[in-house]
Amino acid sequence: MTDEAGGEQLTLAGMPAGRRRRQTSHAEGAVAADRPVAQVYIDLPPLHLDHTFEYLVPASMDTAAQRGTRVKARFGAQDVDGVLVARTEEAAYAGRLVPLRRVVSPVPVLTPVVLRLARLIADRYAGSLVDVLRLAIPPRHARVEAEHAARPTVSSSVSPEAALPTDTATEVVADAVARDFPTATTGVTLSSAAWTDYRGGTAFLQHLVAGRSPHAVWTALPGAGTDRWAYAIAQAVAATAVSGRGALVVLPSARDVDEIAGALVDVGIGPWEPSESSGTRYVRLVADDGPAPRYRAFLAALRGDARVVIGTRSAAFAPVRDLGLAVCWDDRDELHQEPRAPYLHAREVVVGRGDVDGCAVLLGSVTRSTAAQQLVEQGWGHAVEADRGTVRRRTPRVRALTSIELAREGPAAAARLPGEVWRVLRSGLERGPVLVQVPRAGYVPVVACSRCRSVARCVTCHGPLGVRHHQGGTPECTWCGRLASSWRCGVCGAGTLRAVTVGSERTAEELGRAFPGVPVRLSGAGAPSGVLAEVPDRPALVVATIGAEPRCPGGYSAAALLDAATSTSRPSLQVGEQALHRWLAAASLVRPAHAGGVVVLVGDAAPGPTQALVRWDPAGFAARELAERRELRLPPAVRVAAITGTRDAVEAVVARLDLPGGAEVLGPVAVDGPTTLELSPLEQEVRTVVRAQLVDADALSRAVKASMATRSARRESGTVRVQIDPTELM
């Protein structure tokens, strides 16, 4: 022990030592009189550091060092960034505490609600809290912060309907939903036009206006004008605004953000401007907008100046004031999956907001994921969908041109574009634009030996070869980029190649030759014009890769979904669900059948998703798919942890797992990749899959996180990556 004068106080032998009192050296100076101990999460990724560290708050920082502020703190021999999450009177640590180095910004960017949400998501995905906070809090922008400090604080207004949650208020807002009724308090216009075709749609809006928090899984139908999906979400946001609450809409891409922004303006919710002081307004949280606009929008939501936030994946953590509705649109889209640790999914964050914020949650899409179907079957939310008669009225006519359907055409049935497809394209061009969806980009993505049909592969890394350009391009490896000018087949020795798959550029070239005088527009990430947002409503051929299909104001007259077999031939757990999602997303851009809309699916794809597309029954397909996965014990029917890395490291992590009863360990198995052949057996990646029942899901995540924390504390060699409920298991 140490006395107050700094000398050593001896203790008699056998007597317990007293608890050390926190010491403050003269170099530290005076500390804050009130709650002098700060609990800080430091911005370091190792899992064994995923807890708060205690620091002293100097008196000079007492005012600025508040809960949620960014700080600098000493950790070891370096100064690190951190977030102050609490201040206390006493320290739990018995040793000497060091003071905070400085307060980076006095703005409390981390709210208690977002902190609880981030902790929930980090634990679910067996990750570190600071990794989640990097997604939740955008980087600081000092100039924007100065603008923020100069503006006066605005008190948010609450509508009378929200202030009076009585039967009378409920009747008022129910009448407002039934009729197009502009509300003077919020400036928005309520209407149920976009929801009347769905069972439970109008009731969902009425619950929102009355201040309640329902959970719904919505299967949207194609439509234009007030029938389009964006307008329906905008009406749900307007209904929430009338109740005096905020709303959050998470979308997969910036194109979708632009579309929902236009729909919000249609219902009276305009963009927020720094000069405005009141009213229901929205802000965008999109990384593509740049650091300054993104941080400005974040601060507007934090202050409560903007009550509506729309954005992409990371916007799911937005600090919306009085959040009443959280929406995740198109949760099956791959863009909602975070590619960095802890590999979270935006759908799970939005569902978590319903638990943490106590708000309404809406999961919407033109299809239905198995994860959303499981939420419906578990009773988490209600299915909002149309009856069969409405589905037939709102959707185009869909035909699947399989080899059986085309048998009457003889040898021509084997063509990539059979005669029936040409007839559909020609007829569609007489009425308007025609969409052609191609699953692969480029010119000729994959080539094969012309004699034995073996896929041509690179002699260096064994990756598939392709042709990038149409003017006699030399084949090159799609993995390492090496040219294969003197390629010879390793099976038969032949040196000539043939195309296996045709990309969007080659398809556009062929269609341009077949339809002279007809404009051909190419939409895709690698296209010269990039991804098109919209095309005019006049005859043209629009060739688009998956996910890059532009909108047409009046809808496409026809659509051809090519190479269907390619979409379902991959060895993947998600292949059928993914293919149906891609087809329905493109088909939903086509006019309804009574207006002449036709969709043709070309190729022998898997029968399950093919028939679901023809019947336009995504909910039925999701239910059958989930039943099969439940029987086979595959996600999302079970919780799965995929542990990937070098063999010794993976085996060490798995050996330490304290698994719940009934958990299974599968593997390890080798993981194929571009560099697999260049590595020794000890350096090659392997994967072990651990699965447990949903009742033991939290226990599995805790066990994996504890083992990974031990690994980081011991600084074990090798590499290990952990993914909870990965999209791919193979």
Band of pLDDT at residue 500, cut at 50, 70 and 90: confident
Cβ atoms of 29 and 56 within 8 Å: the answer is no
Give the CATH number for residue 308. Answer: 3.40.50.300
Tell me whether residue 704 is in a domain: yes
Q: Is the pLDDT of residue 519 over 90?
A: yes
pLDDT tens per residue, range 125-147 = 999 999 999 999 999 999 999 88
Q: In angstroms, rounded to a whole number, what is the distance separating the alpha carbons of residues 561 and 504?
A: 12
pLDDT on residue 270: 94
Q: Is the pLDDT of residue 481 over 50?
A: yes
Most confident of 255-264, 457-466, 496-505: 255-264
Strands (E), 192-332: 215-219, 246-250, 270-271, 281-285, 308-311, 323-329
pLDDT on residue 29: 65
Class of residue 219 by CB neighbours under 10 A (exposed 0-12, middle 13-18, buried 19+): buried
Do 352 and 381 have their domain in common? yes
Q: Is the pLDDT of residue 679 over 90?
A: no
Mean pLDDT calculated for residue range 92-99: 91
Tell me whether residue 581 is in a domain: yes
pLDDT tens per residue, range 630-646 = 999 999 999 999 999 99
Tell me whether residue 496 is in a domain: yes
Do 364 and 421 have their domain in common? no
Mean pLDDT calculated for residue range 411-439: 89
**Domain stops at, among 91, 108, 125:** 108
498: Cβ contacts below 8 Å, ≥ 6 apart:
447, 448, 449, 450, 453
Do 356 and 408 have their domain in common? no
Tell me whether residue 128 is in a domain: no
Q: Is the pLDDT of residue 1 over 50?
A: no
Task: Report how far apart the first and last C-alpha atoms of the chain are (Å, whole number).
Answer: 58
pLDDT on residue 9: 43
Q: Tell which wins on pLDDT, 703 or 472.
A: 703
pLDDT on residue 26: 36
Average pLDDT over the chain, rounded to whole?
87
Please identify which residue in the block is written with the tokens 């490896």: 477
Tell me whether residue 303 is in a domain: yes
Question: β-strands 246-250, 53-56: how paired?
Answer: unpaired
Do 584 and 657 have their domain in common? no
Give the CATH number for residue 702. Answer: 3.30.70
Distance from chain centroid for Cα 445: 27
Cβ atoms of 491 and 452 within 8 Å: the answer is yes
Do 617 and 668 have their domain in common? no
pLDDT on residue 293: 94
Distance from chain centroid for Cα 484: 38
Band of pLDDT at residue 512, cut at 50, 70 and 90: very high
Cis check: omega of the bond before 342, within 30 degrees of 0: yes
Q: In angstroms, rounded to a whole number, what is the distance separating the alpha carbons of residues 256 and 272?
A: 18
Q: In angstroms, rounded to a whole number, what is the distance separating the alpha carbons of residues 203 and 206?
A: 5
Mean pLDDT calculated for residue range 604-631: 96
Q: Which two tokens stand for residue 360?
A: 């309404």
Reported as type and span, the H/E element at residue 522 is strand 520-523
3-state secondary structure of 377: helix
pLDDT on residue 182: 53
- Domain hosting 461: range is 396-628
| Residue 586 main-chain phi, psi, to 5 deg | -75, -40
Instruction: Give the gyration radius of the chain's Cα atoms.
Output: 29
Q: Is the pLDDT of residue 294 over 90?
A: yes
DSSP secondary structure code for residue 168 in this structure: H
Q: In angstroms, rounded to a whole number, what is the distance separating the alpha carbons of residues 315 and 117?
A: 13
pLDDT on residue 573: 87
Q: Tell which wins on pLDDT, 191 or 45.
A: 45
Q: Which of 7, 87, 72, 5 is nearest to 42 (CA)?
A: 72
pLDDT on residue 215: 98
Residue 700, amino acid: L
Tell me whether residue 161 is in a domain: no
Mean pLDDT calculated for residue range 184-200: 79
Band of pLDDT at residue 447, cut at 50, 70 and 90: confident
Band of pLDDT at residue 172, cut at 50, 70 and 90: very low
Do 563 and 646 have their domain in common? no
Tell me whether residue 146 is in a domain: no
Q: Is the pLDDT of residue 167 over 60?
A: no
Cβ atoms of 209 and 174 within 8 Å: the answer is yes
Q: Is the pLDDT of residue 13 over 70?
A: no
Band of pLDDT at residue 490, cut at 50, 70 and 90: confident
Q: Is the pLDDT of residue 482 over 60?
A: yes
Do 276 and 423 have their domain in common? no
Q: Is the pLDDT of residue 475 over 90?
A: no
pLDDT tens per residue, range 298-338 = 999 999 999 999 999 999 999 999 999 999 999 999 999 99
Mean pLDDT calculated for residue range 676-698: 82
pLDDT on residue 474: 81
Band of pLDDT at residue 658, cut at 50, 70 and 90: very high
Do 581 and 434 have their domain in common? yes
Number of domains in the chain: 4
pLDDT on residue 498: 80
Helix axes 142-150, 291-303, angle to 10 degrees: 30
Band of pLDDT at residue 494, cut at 50, 70 and 90: confident
Do 621 and 509 have their domain in common? yes
**Domain stops at, among 602, 628, 654:** 628
Do 437 and 504 have their domain in common? yes
Mean pLDDT calculated for residue range 452-469: 82
Q: In angstroms, rounded to a whole number, what is the distance separating the alpha carbons of residues 640 and 160?
A: 47
Tell me whether residue 156 is in a domain: no
pLDDT on residue 576: 93
The mean-pLDDT minimum among 285-289, 303-307, 376-380, 566-570 falls in 566-570
Q: Is the pLDDT of residue 548 over 90?
A: yes
Q: In angstroms, rounded to a whole number, what is the distance separating the alpha carbons of residues 357 and 359?
A: 5
Do 224 and 373 have their domain in common? yes
**Domain stops at, among 362, 390, 418:** 390
The mean-pLDDT minimum among 56-70, 225-239, 566-580, 677-691 falls in 677-691
Q: Which of 513, 530, 543 is nearest to 434 (CA)?
A: 543
Q: Is the pLDDT of residue 3 over 70?
A: no
Do 362 and 403 have their domain in common? no
> Other CB atoms closer than 10 Å to residue 661's CB: what's the count?
8
